[in-house]
Amino acid sequence: MNAQTRIDPPKRERLVVIGNGMAGCRAVEEVLERDPGRFDIVIFGAEPRVNYNRIMLSPVLAGEKTFDEIVINTAEWYAENGIELVSGDPVEHIDRETMSVISRSGRVEPYDRLLIATGSDPFIIPIPGNDFPGVVTFRDLDDVDRMLAAAELGGDAVVIGGGLLGLEAAHGLSLRGMKVTVVHLMPTLMERQLDEAAGYLLRQELESRGQTILTSANTRVIHGIEGRVAGIELEDGTRVKADIVVMAAGIKPSITLAKAAGLECERGIMVDDHMVTSDPAILAVGECVQHRGLCYGLVAPLWEMCRALADYLTDAPTGYLGSVTSTKLKVSGIDLFSAGDFSGGADCEDIVMRDAARGVYKRVVVKGDKVVGAVLYGDTADGNWYFDLLKKEEDISDIREALIFGQAFAAGGALADPNAAVAALSDDAEICGCNGVSKGKVVQCIVGGAHSLDAVRSQCKASGSCGSCTNLVESLLAITLGGEVQTGPKTMCKCTSFTHDDVRRNIVEKQLKLIPEVMQELHWTTPDGCSSCRPALNYYLLCAWPGEYQDDEKSRFVNERLHANIQKDGTYSVVPRFFGGITNPTELRAIADVVEKYDAPMVKVTGGQRLDIFGIRKEDLPAVWADLNAAGLVSGHAYGKALRTVKTCVGSEWCRFGTQDSTGLGVKLEHLTWGSYMPHKFKMAVSGCPRNCAEATIKDFGVICVDSGYELHVGGNGGIHLRGTDLLCKVETEEEAMETCIAFIQLYRETGHYLERTAPWLERKGLDWIKAQLFDDPGSIPELAARFRLSQKFWQVDPWARRAGGAHRNLHSHLAEIRPLAMENA
């Protein structure tokens, strides 16, 4: 073949997704997990926001969580996976003939495969007055905002519907100070999930919390005054005052779009076991579908559908065979679990246990030596076990007598330890119903390095939503890791009884300058520490004694030791630094030469305006860095607990909206701060005007250029938990911006816990405290900045100088020699 012949990669299929909700995005996640390069993906969402956990709207309403805490896929996730999100512009027409969709704005998007994930619509009871202002549903964040606005004014709330959603809405409004009445058509609350006895206990508990519960109550009309809702009237003539009425009487699959396109629909969009509709190019998933005659309104079946769909799209078809569902109520202080069929019958046997003093009720329904249903109230610890027995249709004849007492007793007392009970669950037993995570997947995350509850949540999402499975995840951590579980913020790690703050204070007060010295003086319970405390101690000593303490490479993570990011295939990725996102031909040629010389299979433009070289072998890393250093390129510290990037826009030099030289300031900030060893990764950005193209308001430190100078923002995070920045101050000059920046960084370095980003650090310490440390004393910023510059003299060193046999020198001098020559050669 001619060396000049170019072979273009095969064109990827275009997957268009209608619906940016839980089902649509989960299906995309499953596809990406199996074959990330298979499709070009476009997602249309009706709401003007990213994907969030809809089942966690109840805790948001109750004030137990914020919206940021229930976001599933951040804007960064879409970008990193090459997904185009079209938010706030719903699809209104599907043209099957041309294989394209048309959105409300008129955008036409062609597809090779179309996925419909339109979810469900709330059922609006067809009674007079249902369209009054103040009558709301409970399906999305806008509904929650409307309820919160009503709650701020106080008054009376009526919730029509005593099912899951209705009771969660009532709980939230009650906590917000409203007087709540629940109106339910059936005699028993949550009659689809609870029997009469459990429903009675639930009603008692809710009434003890101040709610009024009206069962067997049919709403006849909604009354209004001056064009706004004022109350309801029941069939028996009873009137209930209301400043807000929440319709939570059920849902129905959203099939209008599919029906208009001519797809086969009954109650939902008809799909086969691979989630394919009557059109082979169109699939559907979630609450909008009907599979084998059933529509599902709970989250667990959605996850099972998504897995089957992703298998089919990536040519490994398995098939969805239907779901057995379980239910938990997300109302704090109420433990309730229900699964399967508890209607009973002549061929069924009920096993019941009641403990009136504890408010516990348990009922297990057995049919032919198999569990077919379970209702638990007050003690739900064995819910997952019963559910596992039910799904697998296990023969329980040998444990029949002890079944009602739970897994520990059923195993003859061998599982009295709750951790052992969790250990006995099968690998495919469901641990987290909110996110569809099995025991096997949780254990896989733990074995793969997730050694704390937060780490498990970030990797596989288990316990990251309603939190009801937290105790199960903690048990799996204890079982899998033994004593190595990172238990949280109380102590630094298992090796010590001291907190991070205690350790930092003692290092300074007692003049401790070696890791063994710290461990001896502070009574470490292990001889050499662990993988949690050694990196932290190394950082705290470096921060406290710059120039005196010698960096201990053994106490750094592998990525930091090798100055590259290890990948899942055992190779490494190398990220040279582009100061402010600017490069030149010499640097680009050097990167191209490295890619060819070391046979790197991929080069990717990162979100931080750099190039990431993938597939470098470990043994080649020193030579790779030597070649890159020769062209003036230094490490971008993509692996480091350090400054990562300074993202910039072109600013006033090129942009007609730019108010200041944002690129120039970004380059100066990066030269000033790069290589800074910090508690965690640190990202900055400089936007040349309030349009904020560089996304400065989701960075650890962001600068917004304005006509009068610079707005300095801090504490942002665009990762798993999206957090916007807080305004720190406004300054007039670049010099003030740079001095304030390094003073802020130094304050974070001196008071942050190791592996604590600026966002949680800011929330822990408080913005007012940070401002006081910086601005109350005129000498604070100069003193902090001086300490920053002192530490930089000893932290910014050429990572490969010693390995390559060269001098161990400051890289600023290295740049001073090489980078101007590179720019001149360009």
Q: Rounded to the nearest 5°, which phi and psi values hold at 79?
A: -65, -45
The verdict on residue 101 lying in a domain is yes
Query: Do 684 and 739 belong together in one domain?
Result: yes
CATH of the domain at 220: 3.50.50.60
Across the range 478-501, mean pLDDT stands at 71
Q: Are residues 467 and 504 in the same domain?
A: no
The mean per-residue pLDDT over the stretch 195-215 comes to 90
Closest to 555 in 3D by CA, of 754, 303, 712: 754
| Domain assignment of residue 740, yes or no | yes
Q: Which amino acid appears at position 469 of this protein? A: C
Q: Where are the alpha helices (DSSP H) in 44-86?
A: 57-62, 67-70, 75-80
Domain ranges, residue 48: 13-120+253-313
Q: Which of 535, 537, 500 is nearest to 764 (CA)?
A: 500
Rounded mean pLDDT, 195-223: 92
- Residue 808: CB atoms within 10 A of its CB come to 8
Output the pLDDT for position 825.
27
490 pLDDT more than 70: no
One domain, residues 189 and 114: no
State both tokens at 330: 């997300």
Final residue of a structural domain among 249, 272, 304: 249
What is the phi/psi pair of residue 641, to 5°?
A: -85, 75
Bridge partners, residue 85, by sequence = 43
693 is in an annotated binding site: yes
Q: Please write the tens of the pLDDT for every residue from 683-694.
A: 999 999 999 898
- Cβ distance 58 to 47 under 8 Å? no
- Does position 1 have pLDDT exceeding 50, yes or no? no
Q: Note whether 740 and 733 are within 8 A (CB).
A: no
655 assigned to a ligand binding site:
yes
Pair 660, 724 in one domain: yes
pLDDT value at residue 378: 86
What pLDDT sits at residue 491? 72
Phi, psi (rounded to 5 degrees) for 532: -90, -45
Co-location of 47 and 151 in the same domain: no
Q: Examine the domain organization and report whether 38 and 24 are in the same domain.
A: yes
**Roughly how many angstroms between the first and final C-alpha of the chain, as a whole number?**
34
The tokens describing 123, both together, are 């059922």
Choose the final residue of a domain: 265, 291, 313: 313
Kindly state whether residues 174 and 53 are assigned to the same domain. Answer: no
Q: Which pLDDT belongs to residue 799? A: 39
Mean pLDDT of 224-230: 93
**∠ Cα 700 705 706 (to 5°):** 135
Q: What is the mean pLDDT of residues 449-457?
A: 77
Q: Which residues pair with 430 in a beta bridge?
A: 438
Indicate whether 632 belongs to any domain.
no
Q: How far apart are CA 216 and CA 231, in angstroms?
A: 18
List strand residue ranges (DSSP E) for 238-370, in order. Answer: 239-241, 244-247, 251-253, 269-271, 282-284, 289-291, 326-328, 336-340, 349-355, 360-366
Give the lowest-confidence range in 43-47, 135-139, 327-331, 716-720.
Answer: 327-331
460 is in an annotated binding site: no
In a domain, 154, yes or no: yes
Look at residue 146 and tell me whether its pLDDT is greater than 90: yes
Higher pLDDT, 217 or 455: 217
C-alpha closest to that of 751 among 547, 556, 539: 539
What whole-number distance in Å separates Cα of residue 521 and Cα of residue 427? 44
Q: Nearest-CA neighbor of 41 among 117, 125, 109?
A: 109
CB 620 within 8 A of CB 598: yes
Residues 790 and 665 in one domain: yes
Inside any domain, residue 660: yes
437 and 539 assigned to the same domain: no
Token output for 81: 């996976």
| 662, 649 contact by CB (below 8 A) | yes
Q: Which of 431-445, 644-658, 700-714 comes out lowest in average pLDDT?
A: 431-445
Residue 634 is assigned to a structural domain of this protein: no
Let me know: does 809 contact 797? Beta carbons within 8 Å. Answer: yes
pLDDT bin (cut points 50, 70, 90) of residue 467 is: low
Per the structure, the count of domains in the chain is 5
Residue 390 belongs to a domain: no
Cα radius of gyration (the chain): 30
Q: What is the CATH number of the domain that holds 696?
A: 3.30.413.10
Identify the band that residue 474 occupies on the pLDDT scale cut at 50, 70 and 90.
confident
The reply to whether 689 sits in an annotated binding site is yes
- CATH number, domain containing residue 426: 1.10.10.1100
425 lies in some domain: yes
Mean pLDDT (the chain, rounded): 86
In angstroms, the Cα distances linking 739 to 255, 701, 754, 772 are 58, 13, 24, 16
**In this model, does residue 822 exceed pLDDT 70?**
no
* Whether residues 440 and 519 fall in one domain: no
- Whether 818 shows a pLDDT value over 80: the answer reads no
Residues 681 and 782 in one domain: yes
Does one domain contain both 184 and 223?
yes
Count of C-beta atoms within a 10 Å radius of residue 564: 25
Choose one of 249, 276, 293: the last residue of a domain: 249
pLDDT band at 802 (very low <50, low <70, confident <90, very high): very low
